[in-house]
Structure 1
Amino acid sequence: MARLPRLGVPGWPHLVVQRVHEGQLLARDDTDRAALLGALREAARLHGLAVHAYALCPDHLHLLATPAQEDSLSLTMQALGRRYVAGYNRRHGRHGGLWSGRFRAAVLDPVQFLLPAMVFVEQHGVRAGLVHREEDERWSSARHHLGLMTDPLIADHALFWALGNTPFEREAAWRRRLEEGLSEAERQRLADAMHKGWALVDDAKQAALQQLAGRPVRPRPRGRPKKTVSSAVSIDQ
């Protein structure tokens, strides 16, 4: 079965994961992590990608971002791979690629899923047992949204700004949101869509998004279509 083209829909947030090869590390130390974020910031600026949240994990990168153009996300990830991986290889005396295949992404209806996706990304360190609290994670966007630093990589979404009229109100609201967390069903739904490359949208928006994407955006129902009985068939047959 042919692989579907990756979804890339301008103006819609995308939940992204980019993994590294098994046995490799995304970054070996803080110098690598700073280099990765610098490369990502430059690539995102150049190609029109607004990054709303991120987390650097031991073997993968999570992003929540909105592309300005259809190819903004792809071009950003390509540029990140060229610049960061080349520097990583030089620094550590290695050769070859670092990424394990292409990145995976889900397109999200922002009204329903943008803030849950931010929680999904910024809670990764806590879920993985790397830190006890989100604010202890130096290499994610959580500290920016909790008011502990200003991160030049982050372009806050309008829905985050709507959490409060002042920075203090937004930061307090976001702390409450992180404390509430996600249910396992919510987390699994986001993860499944991200890894499988589907969209999370309601039925009313599916057709419009599908037209923009030029491909199916949700899996078709399993099984054969139900047969319909023609009204022209005689009951005597």
Structure 2
Amino acid sequence: MTEIPTTEAAEFWEARYAGEQRVWSGRPNPLLVREVNGLVPGSALDLGCGEGADAVWLASRGWRVTGVDISPTALERAAGHAADAGVSDRVAWERHELGVTFPDGVFDLVSAQFLMSPVPLDQDGVLRRAAAAVAPGGTLLIAMHAGWPSWQDEAPFDVDFPTLDGVLASLALPEGDWKVETREAVRKPCPSPEGVEGFREDNVWRIRRIGS
């Protein structure tokens, strides 16, 4: 794994993962599953892979995956899940603080699922580097929360939720070189920890780089 210096972001995310037995559900992100199901498997880059659910799901469907995260604990768990699923030979794990370091190479799919952080993150810069890492004919897939859950009265931390148009503008993709195939706000059920019914909206973009 790539060595990176200890920073506020590195300390925050390592403490988050080390402080719990499991942070995420272990299931792949539904928007990833929906948008990728029709794509031909090739090479994939999973940015902010966490405990590896998306990367393992992609590998189980024939993709060769590079999973990237800032937390060593998250990457260790991800590698364990890949081994349990029998796909270790199809997944490589790299440690990066996105916005500071970034994986080398180009990929048929670059996925950034909910790459949002309560500690500093150059989100626009990371997404532009993500776009640059898409091979000709490949796909950039981004999903972001569009706001807090409907039952959330106070924001737990300050965050600027990206808009559908705002992300496309910040990417500054050359006209004619890319095709936007999905640009959509999706509402999903989202009950509170106390069981209060509610919903949350997410935004998803699937953008194909034109080429052969």
Query: Which TM bucket (shorter chain)?
Result: 0.3 to 0.5
Normalising by the residue count of structure 2, what TM-score does the alignment of the two structures yield? 0.34
Q: Which has the higher strand share?
A: 2
**Bigger relative CO (Cα 8 Å, ≥ 6 apart):** 1
Structure with greater helix share of residues:
1
